[in-house]
Amino acid sequence: MHFFNFHTHKSANNPEALDLVNQYPNEFDETIPFYSIGIHPWYIVKERIEAELEIIDKKLATENCLAIGECGLDKRTDVSFELQESVFEKQLLLAEKHQKPVVIHCVAAFQEVITIKKKLGITVPMIIHGFSKNQQVAKQLLNNGFYISFGKYLIKNPNLEAVFKSIPNNRFFLETDTIDETIEMVYALAAKYKNITIEELQQIISSNFATVFDKQLKNEF
């Protein structure tokens, strides 16, 4: 295993990579080796919430479920923000119960995510996936204990180079999410931006993996 893809919606079936595949409670695929599972803020259906939380609770107890998510807050979707906050909080409490990290979807609601983390006293690692904002937002997240994952926007937006360079090596992950580019391509660009070799970057990600996932898969790296 040489590459860790922190967040994707479809496994690349690459023997050199561990894909953390996003799953939804009502569309679960048992054949996926390693996954996260959660209620995305776009897809909250009030009548299904409790049943889906029950599924998530059960899956989090298994070894192959490495994290909860993606879950979070999105001010640009039609779902009631109050309902989003309620569902997000319930999932964070499940993360604490099972001591599993959280893959976070956040759009225009970083302050609210930080506030909820503090309010609930969340101790498990919380990782903002698909980061696309500026250094000020990144610094605020880092100061409040978050990790940050880069992928799609790192490739599509050259302005993120400076932001990515500013992230401490022990606080980031890399991902593909929904893009066609491979995780190897994301690693190559990240290594170029950090001015390090692919091998050095792999070591950094491996160390971060061990920290965040509590060495659940220590034999994978």
- Does 2 show up as a binding residue in the annotation? no
- Does 98 show up as a binding residue in the annotation? no
- Dist. CA 185–CA 12, nearest whole Å: 13
DSSP string, 18-51: EEEEEEBTTB--TT-SSEEE---GGG--GGGHHH
Using a 10 angstrom Cβ sphere, with 0-12 exposed, 13-18 middle and 19 or more buried, the burial of residue 188 is: middle
Q: Are 113 and 72 in contact (CB under 8 A)?
A: yes
| Sole residue written with tokens 């992230």 | 167
Residue 33 phi, psi (nearest 5): -65, -50
Cis upstream peptide for 30 (omega within 30°):
no
- Does 105 show up as a binding residue in the annotation? yes
Instruction: Tell me 74's DSSP state.
Output: E
Instruction: Tell me 10's DSSP state.
Output: S
Annotated binding-site positions: 70, 105, 129, 177
Annotated binding-site positions for a divalent metal cation: 70, 105, 129, 177
